[in-house]
Structure 1
Amino acid sequence: MDNETDRPRAGSPRNTALLSAVLLAAGLALTACAGGGGAGGNEGGQKSSDSGVASLATPSSGGAKAGAAPSAQSSAAAVEAERPVLRLDSTQEEIDRLWDGYWACLQDRGVPMNTGRVERPGEQAPPVDDAKVTAQYKKQYAACLYRMPLQPVEERPETNPHYADDHRAYAGCLKSKGLKVHEVFGPDGSPDGLTYDEDFTGSGDSPAFRKIDNDCRLEAFGGKGKN
């Protein structure tokens, strides 16, 4: 299920659950529901408030004009086609701009916002992170889904046929650089994120960690060194 209260910092792997608690709070989110997964699957990533590509996200297909909500008769596939798609090297500014637009859509429709999470004047507050509230405003969330950013295609299992191998390479890269992490897997044996080893010490929000993580993401999911 999508997480509507988080979005990733630029350079964070958005299809893994690595350090989810730390990263959600610190803003280096290695989460996201790619394609509707669990802790490792935030479909559009997360904002640094709790939750990358060299240009602003591009739509996954042509369709309604930017800012125009699909009609009530639109199929789920049509709505999905309207969602903006992040690229692997998205900047934080680009990510924030898209998530602000999505959250503003929710606010305009009456979804309660968590104003306590606002850190800067004029910053768009995220929605309240409460399952009961989400259920209560289900129609509003559905109406704004077309504005919720999608993960880069490289970091979604359903759009990357080599996702399992790339994910393994990503974990191996982090380990080779001294991070004590390991893969976790879903019931079907597919990759379901990363987690710290029990003896890990350090901070997931440090500049050094973010650089390592970004380099490994680009190397593993970006195809560096692949034929």
Structure 2
Amino acid sequence: MRIVLGAALLAVAAVTACGTQPAPDKDIASLSTTDSTSAATTTTATAPTEGRPQLRLDMTEDESNKVWQPYYRCYEQHGVALSRMGPNGELQVPSKPDPAKEKEAAQACKGKLPLQPPELDTKGPKYRDNFHKWVQCMNDRGLKIVEVPDTSVDPDGIGWTYGEGNTIGGEQGAKIERECKLAAFK
């Protein structure tokens, strides 16, 4: 049974991510002086989201795949074996899971990890209402969807799964899911 979890979007991103262009290494602190007469030197740190590519809710699958590719390439450069999938042979999921290498790559590549669309921020004030609208829309369009708890990221998290007797899948199901998500979260 396929479970799609609203709050798990970020967790999935951490395992299967890539970006549009290589981001500069933001993990290196920079040194600066306040003026030429001051001996004081300060270390500046960057925000964890600075320089990361931003996904948009209305992106096509092709556009999204392009945004993820630098992150995947970074994983590959850090020894994680990835499969090539999709119509253009994009790098995607690890082909030989290796938790130690994946953990190291996640740390090294975090500056290239695409940010999820702001509308899908599970802590946003409208997220829960919009999530319910998304599920309702999918049900109204013939998918049999059931909301389920998702405590993997948030103690009060929500997600969804296909209900019993669902007969719509493949491209048609993905199209309904995407259209309803766009309608609900805009």
TM-score (structure 2 length as normaliser): 0.72
Please list every run of 5 or more consecutive structure 2 residues that lacks an aligned counterpart in the other structure.
30-43
**Partner Cα distance (1:220, 1:119) in 2:** 27
Paired amino acid for 1:80: T
**Partner Cα distance (1:191, 1:157) in 2:** 8
Question: Residues 103 and 174 (structure 1 numbering): CA distance in 2 closer, same or farther, change over 3 Å?
Answer: same
**Partner Cα distance (2:144, 2:67) in 1:** 32
Pair 1:211-2:175 in alignment: yes
Equivalent residue number for residue 153 of structure 1:
118
Pair 1:164-2:128 in alignment: yes
Pair 1:69-2:44 in alignment: no
**Partner Cα distance (1:161, 1:90) in 2:** 23
**Partner Cα distance (1:103, 1:92) in 2:** 16
* Contact 2:15/2:93 (8 A) holds in 1: no
Equivalent residue number for residue 139 of structure 2:
175
**SS of match in other structure, 1:150:** coil
More strand by share: 2
Matches within 5 A, 1:50-65: none
**Partner Cα distance (1:157, 1:201) in 2:** 29
Please list every run of 5 or more consecutive structure 1 residues that lacks an aligned counterpart in the other structure.
1-17, 21-28, 48-55, 58-64, 223-227
Greater RCO, CA 8 A, separation 6+: 2
Question: Residues 121 and 89 (structure 1 numbering): CA distance in 2 closer, same or farther, change over 3 Å?
Answer: closer
Paired amino acid for 1:174: M
C-alpha distance after superposition, 1:57-106 (max 9, x if no partner): 8xxxxxxx95211134586x723333211111012222111211101112
Paired amino acid for 2:139: K
**SS of match in other structure, 1:42:** helix
Question: Residues 183 and 82 (structure 1 numbering): CA distance in 2 closer, same or farther, change over 3 Å?
Answer: same
* Contact 1:166/1:221 (8 A) holds in 2: yes
State the number of aligned residues. 169
RMSD after superposition: 3.3
**Farther off after superposition, 143-152 or 191-200:** 191-200
* Contact 1:155/1:221 (8 A) holds in 2: yes
Is the radius of gyration larger for structure 1 or structure 2? 2
Question: Residues 46 and 112 (structure 1 numbering): CA distance in 2 closer, same or farther, change over 3 Å?
Answer: closer
C-alpha distance after superposition, 1:103-161 (max 9, x if no partner): 1112223x23134x44667643543462xx23245333211111111211111213x21
**Partner Cα distance (1:118, 1:191) in 2:** 30
**Partner Cα distance (2:128, 2:2) in 1:** 19
Q: Out of 163, 172, 179, which is 1:197 matched to?
A: 163
Matches within 5 A, 1:1-227: 19-20=2-3, 33-34=8-9, 36=10, 41-43=11-13, 67-73=23-29, 78-109=47-78, 111-115=79-83, 117-118=84-85, 123-124=90-91, 126-128=93-95, 130=97, 133-158=98-123, 160-187=124-151, 190-203=156-169, 205-206=170-171, 208-222=172-186
Paired amino acid for 1:124: L
C-alpha distance after superposition, 1:13-58 (max 9, x if no partner): xxxxx934xxxxxxxx777734x5xxxx4347957xxxxxxxx98x
Question: Residues 201 and 99 (structure 1 numbering): CA distance in 2 closer, same or farther, change over 3 Å?
Answer: same
Paired amino acid for 2:149: F
Question: Residues 121 and 216 (structure 1 numbering): CA distance in 2 closer, same or farther, change over 3 Å?
Answer: closer
